[in-house]
Structures are given as structure tokens and as C-alpha cells.
Amino acid sequence: MKNLKRLAPVFIVLVLAIVVVFALRATPRPRPVSTPTPAQDVESWRAYQNQEYGFELRYPPDWELRQETDSTNPNEQMIISLASPLLQSQQQGASSPLVADISIGVRRAFSLKQLDQELQEQVLESGYNFIVNKRLTKINGYKASVMTIGGYGAELNIYFPNAGNLYHFLFSQTATLQELTWTENLILSTFRFLDN
């Protein structure tokens, strides 16, 4: 009984250490965050409209919009990317910024069904299921496929089918809709197709 009393503090310290380790592992990874004031009005934001691809959105004046000409995916044309002020400051001095908070691309004459088939083929080829979760939903009244792709460092991908094309939003700093910053949610809420 005396030995048990001596071991009790050691046991308590051990349990606390285990709890701390698991709490640290569950802590979300740091990410660029823009914290707008509640009075911020999206109507005062910059407007971007693309007649060729038929969509528009708004973004804060302190975010950088880049017209994209290259794409890492030969089947998808990147159109624009948006970088928050924090991300811009982290990339200052870099010869070419490689990261954006939000990238938007389009796949012409492509459907959600074709995307599913392509992703399944990639999973079969690699032997690794990199699709963490996937669901169909509506965003701004538009049908959307929302998926998290990747393991550690996973990225949120939102696909909007419209007029036979597939529009792709890539949020490179977050993995789920619930992790989007307030500003990212507002940007997404301003997205509209011009034909609707």
C-alpha cells in the first residue's frame, strides 16, 4: 500500500504528459489568416469579372489578385489566384510566388462524373486513397462537390459544374469548409456565374 501511494504522483504526471502530447497533436497547423472588422462591407471590395469563363467575385482591397497563365494540371486552365496580406508578406522577396490562399481554375467540357472517374483512376494507379472526404452540397445556390484531398497538408477543393464546364476553387491553406477564415467565406459567398 505504501508503494502505491508513492507511485500515485508518478502515475498522475504520466497521465498529464499523455494528455498534453495528444492535445498538441490535435492543435491545427498555423495558417495565414486575415481578420477583417465586422463593419467591413463586401460591396467596397474589388470586383473581378471574367467574361470568357463567365463568373465574378469580390475580394478585399488588401488581397493580391494574380492572373494565372500556367497550370500544374494540363487538363485545367488556372484563371486567377488570390493571396492574403499575410501570405504576401511571407512571400516577399521570392522570385516567383508559388502559393496562393485561393486559386480558381476551369476544366472545359468536363463534368463531376468525369472528375470522379479521373480521381478513382489516380487512386488505383497510386494505391493510395488521397481523397479524405467528399460530399455534394449547394454553395450560393449552386451545386458543388466539396472534397479534401491529401493527408497532412490536405487542401480544400470545391468544384462547381456550370454550362458543361467544371470550375475549381482550391483553398491551399485549409482542408475543410469549417476551417475557412471569415474573409475566405465572404469571398466564396460573392462568387456568381454570369449566366444565372
Q: What percent of the chain has pLDDT over 70?
A: 73
CB 119 within 8 A of CB 171: no
Pick the residue with more confidence: 107 or 38?
107
pLDDT tens string 162-195: 999 999 999 988 888 999 999 999 999 999 999 8
Model pLDDT, residue 95 = 65
CB 33 within 8 A of CB 86: yes
Query: What are the strands, taking DSSP E only, across the chain?
Result: 46-50, 55-59, 64-67, 77-83, 102-107, 131-139, 142-149, 155-162, 165-171, 192-193
Lowest mean pLDDT among 95-104, 127-136, 161-170: 95-104
Supply the mean pLDDT for the chain: 80
Question: Could you give the strand order of the β-sheet that contains 131-139, starting from the edge strand earlier in sequence?
Answer: 64-67, 77-83, 102-107, 165-171, 155-162, 142-149, 131-139
What distance in Å separates the CA atoms of residue 93 and residue 146, rounded to the nearest whole number?
A: 34
One-letter amino acid at 19 equals: V
Pick the residue with more confidence: 56 or 73?
56
Three-class DSSP category at 6: helix
The yes-or-no verdict on residue 56 having pLDDT over 70 is: yes
Pick the residue with more confidence: 141 or 9?
141
Pick the residue with more confidence: 80 or 94?
80
**What cell numbers appear for 95 in the block?**
522570385
The yes-or-no verdict on residue 35 having pLDDT over 80 is: no
In CATH terms, 2-193 corresponds, of 3.40.1000.10, 3.90.470.10, 3.40.1830.10, 3.40.50.720, to 3.40.1000.10
The arithmetic mean of pLDDT across residues 77-85, rounded, is: 90
One-letter amino acid at 82 equals: L
179 DSSP assignment? G
The yes-or-no verdict on residue 142 having pLDDT over 80 is: yes
Domain ranges of the chain: 2-193
Q: Which residues, in sequence order, are bridge partners of residue 1?
A: none
pLDDT band of 127, cuts 50, 70, 90: confident
The label of the residue with cell 477564415 reads: 181
